[in-house]
Structure formats: C-alpha cells, structure tokens
Amino acid sequence: MLAVLCLWLASVANVQADAPNTLAPLTFITEEYPPYNYLDNQQLTGVSIDLLEAIFAATDTPLSRHDVRYYPWVRGYELALSQPNTVLFSTTRTPAREASFHWVGPIAQDQVVLLAHRDAPIAIDALSQAIDRDLTVVVIREDIGAQALLEAGYPERLLVPAIDNRSALSMLTRGRVDLWAYSADVAAWIAESEGYSSDSLIPIHTLSESSLYFAINQATDRRLVTLMQQALDRVLAERPQR
C-alpha cells in the first residue's frame, strides 16, 4: 500500500510539473489591424496588445509586447496554420475557420463590409447585384473579407488581391477597383491615417458581423489554450464596466 501511494504521489507530482503555468512556450504573431493591433512609432500598440500584456501578467509569463512578431497577414496566417504553439491575432472567428484553430476570446466585435469611395458612389441591395454588374473588389488573401466573398459565390475573377490594407486603400481611391472588402472600423482608421476624411469610404453592404479572437495552432497543448482563456476571462472580469 505504501509503495502504491508513493508511486501515485510521484505520478501526481510529474503531472503538475509538466502542466504549463505560463504562456512562455507560445509564439505570438500580429499584423496591422488598428485600433486592435498596429505600430505606433515603431512600437506595437492597440486594444489587443494591451489585453495580451494583461494576460501575460495574469499568468506570470515573462513576455511583453516587444516579443510579439509583426508580419503581413498572409504570412502570419500561414504560420498559425502550420506551426504548433503559434498564436495569431486579432483573428475573425468564422464557421469556415472553426476547425483550423483553437480559439481564445472574444476580444472585440467586428463588422466586415464592402466599401465604396465617396468620389465613385455605388449602391446595391444585394451581393448578386454587384456580381451582375461585374464590380471588382480589392481583398487581402486569406482575410475574412476575401473568404466571405468566396463563400458567398463571388467570382474569383472579380477579386483583386492587395499586399496589405494600405495598398487596398490606394487601389480603391485611385479607381483601380470598384470596392474594398474589409473591416469598417479598421478601414476608416487606415483612411484617416493616410490623410483622407472620415467619410471618404462608404459602407454599402455588410459581409459579416462576428468576433475577434486569438487563433491558436491546432497542434498546441490544450492546457495552454485553457490557461490563456482563463487568464483572459479573469482580466476582462477585473476591468471596469463601461
């Protein structure tokens, strides 16, 4: 009996030693998606960055915003899909992406729309009208806007890929495309940062209304996912209610 008890205690001790108690094994990747995550004077900032640092503090994780990698969306998305222990944010959670990641969140609500330029106004009542009129749409590959359009049956020949959101804005304002599929809030922030007025982009059709999350590679230890979700819940519960 004593021998069995000693073996059981040793087993429990090993499990506790192996169980993660910080998020240090994880690699965090983000992109320019203001006001959630973006560079300001060469330093990462934004709502999601602040939230992540609070999660680090809550889990005694020896990381900070300076350890977060900043990549173009397509590269970050591909890494999060292929590399264990990789976290990508802020990522829209959709049914099509559901099985591809573990999810920690939500961080915030986001609305993805089709945007027209004020100098070239367009009005549609349904997405089918945009297809019938052969309206071209600038998208960022693997972004929720591109995925939502393809899932809705929008012809791929009418989708024009851009390297990033600023390139997409430039293509729309220069008349190279008819529309831009992107987050309404983020697009407005980008436009103002480039010197355009707040009403220069006109939302004409909503593609999706969903939540932003931390998306974690599926091969990641689920205990790390649970630890991060619990820390996020604790951080949000302790924040003042508005």
DSSP string of 15-79, one letter each residue:
HHHHS--SSTT-EEEE--BTTTBEEETTEEESHHHHHHHHHHHHTT-S--GGGSEE--HHHHHHH
Stretch 62-68: mean pLDDT: 98
Class of domain 110-210: alpha beta
Instruction: Please state, rounded to an integer, the average pLDDT across all residues of the chain.
Output: 92
Q: Where along the chain do its domains lie? A: 25-109+212-238, 110-210
pLDDT at 58 over 50: yes
Banded pLDDT at 18 (limits 50, 70, 90): low
**Going by CATH, does the domain composed of 25-109+212-238 fall within 3.30.1510.10?**
no
* Whole-number pLDDT of residue 216: 98
Return the DSSP state at 241.
P
Which three-class secondary structure state does DSSP give residue 203? strand
* Whole-number pLDDT of residue 240: 74
* Whole-number pLDDT of residue 20: 79
- Among 79, 88, 78, smallest CA distance to 28 is for 88
* Whole-number pLDDT of residue 126: 96
Stretch 129-139: mean pLDDT: 98
* Whole-number pLDDT of residue 9: 34
Q: Please tell me whether the peptide bond between 35 and the residue prior to it is cis, using omega within 30 degrees of 0.
A: yes
How far is it, in rounded angstroms, from Cα 201 to Cα 197?
Answer: 8
pLDDT at 14 over 70: no
Same fold, 25-109+212-238 and 110-210: yes
pLDDT at 2 over 60: no
Q: What is the pLDDT of residues 175-231, one digit of tens each?
A: 999 999 999 999 999 999 999 998 999 999 999 999 999 999 999 999 999 999 999
- Among 207, 208, 196, 191, smallest CA distance to 124 is for 207
Banded pLDDT at 19 (limits 50, 70, 90): low
More confident residue, 175 or 12: 175
* Whole-number pLDDT of residue 81: 98
Helices marked H in the chain — which ranges? 2-18, 47-58, 73-82, 127-132, 144-151, 165-173, 184-193, 222-238
Dihedral Cα 43, 49, 54, 56, nearest 10 deg: -80
